[in-house]
Amino acid sequence: MSATLLDGNAVALAIRSEVRPAVDRLTARAGRPPGLALVLVGDDPASHLYVGSKLKSAGESGLFADVHRLPANASLDELLTLVDRLNQSPIHDGILVQSPLPAAMGPDAERRVFDAIAPDKDVDGFHPLNVGKLVQERATLVACTPSGVIELLDRSHIQIAGKRAVVIGRSDIVGKPMALLLLHRHATVTVCHSRTPDLPAVCREADILVAALGKPAFVTREFVKPGATVIDVGTTRVDDAQTIARLFAPGTKRRIAFEKRGALVLGDVHPEVEEVAGALTPVPGGVGPLTIALLLKNTLRAAEARLG
């Protein structure tokens, strides 16, 4: 058996084609497009790529978007001042501060910055007020990646209600909101983490298994009940040739891509899982495109709420 691959690009395109006319209608009514501020601190190459994709996608959907850059040695106070200015800005409806922030900003910088974003502009859904609303199932702005996973399951006609769901990873950005969204859709949810005993056995109970732990190819076939839906949220850049050689046979598409580029982005799910799962999100082309599509949708939502 070979798993059905869930096409994140196609679902993201469908969402974006729904966002575009709603953006155009709002722009005509309000006299300006919904606005998104992207804040990029430092020079992490992956963050530069992500912010570039977000900027391009926002433009293609008719949004106004701009990037606000600070150098790697910027202080937390400078960043908080910028966030405050964007909170007051009449042309920005959404603010996204790209994570991770430079380590030199201190261990609690990210939390302090996310706390400082006006809740009605918090298109990442990371502000404690929006997280609290999510817990009570009355959120308007929910973290983009987990919301994207729900959209992917729905639009792929995968039933959630009554199913056993297991989430590996308990981050504020993915694991926790993912578990809550699955719970609100009437799944029976288990959240696993580094101290869960016999992790493979717990995961084998899942009809829907979400891997969001950030360890490439960690989820092997022994974690997966035959026929289960497996959602791979991992994106880790790997440049170690031995790791790649262990995972991909010579002549396969991914091995050739590695030989050409010297690195690959790997998910948390081992390639052998394709032989066991019923449905599986590929990396790349699975969850990634949905994160951006949901960011556009959240920006539209924030603008609609602000502009009335």
Q: Residues with catalytic annotation?
A: 54, 98, 124
- Measured from the CB atom, the residue of 144 and 208 that comes closer to ligand GUN is 144
Contacts of 62 (CB under 8 A, 6+ apart): 20, 23, 24, 27, 33
Quick check: 98 binds ligand GUN (CB under 6 A)? yes
Task: Give yes or no for residue 79 binding ligand GUN (CB under 6 A).
Answer: no
Examine residue 122 and tell whether it contacts ligand GUN (CB under 6 A): no
Name the residue number minimizing CB distance to ligand GUN.
99
The mark string for 166-205 relative to ligand GUN (x by CB under 6 A, - otherwise) is -------x--------------------------------
Q: Would you call 58 exposed, middle or buried from its count of C-beta atoms within 10 A (0-12, 13-18, 19+)?
A: buried
Q: Enter the DSSP assignment of 101.
A: P
Contact call for residue 229 and ligand GUN (CB under 6 A): no
Any contact of residue 212 with ligand GUN (CB under 6 A)?
no
Under DSSP, is residue 1 helix (H, G, I), strand (E, B) or coil? coil
Q: Would you state the structure tokens that stand for residue 60, as one six-digit string? A: 């293609």
Nearest approach in angstroms of CB 10 to ligand GUN is: 21
Nearest approach, Cβ of residue 213 and ligand GUN (Å)? 14
Contact 38, 66 (CB under 8 A): yes
CB-based contacts of 234: which residues, under 8 Å, 6+ apart? Answer: 211, 212, 213, 214, 215, 216, 218, 266, 267, 268, 269, 283
Compare residues 121 and 225 and give the one whose CB is closer to ligand GUN: 121
User: Does residue 147 bind ligand GUN (CB under 6 A)?
Assistant: no
Among 105, 109, 144, 187, binds ligand GUN (CB under 6 A): 144
Kindly tell me which of 105 and 173 has the beta carbon lying closer to ligand GUN: 173
Q: Which two tokens stand for residue 14?
A: 């469908």
96 close to 38: Cβ distance less than 8 angstroms? yes
Nearest to 146 by CA among 304, 290, 306: 290
96 binds ligand GUN (CB under 6 A): yes
Q: Is 145 in the site for ligand GUN (CB under 6 A)?
A: yes
Query: How big is the chain by its Cα radius of gyration, in Å?
Result: 20
Query: Which helix (H) or strand (E) covers residue 188, if one does?
Result: strand 188-192
Binding site for ligand GUN (CB under 6 A): 96-99, 124, 144-145, 173, 291
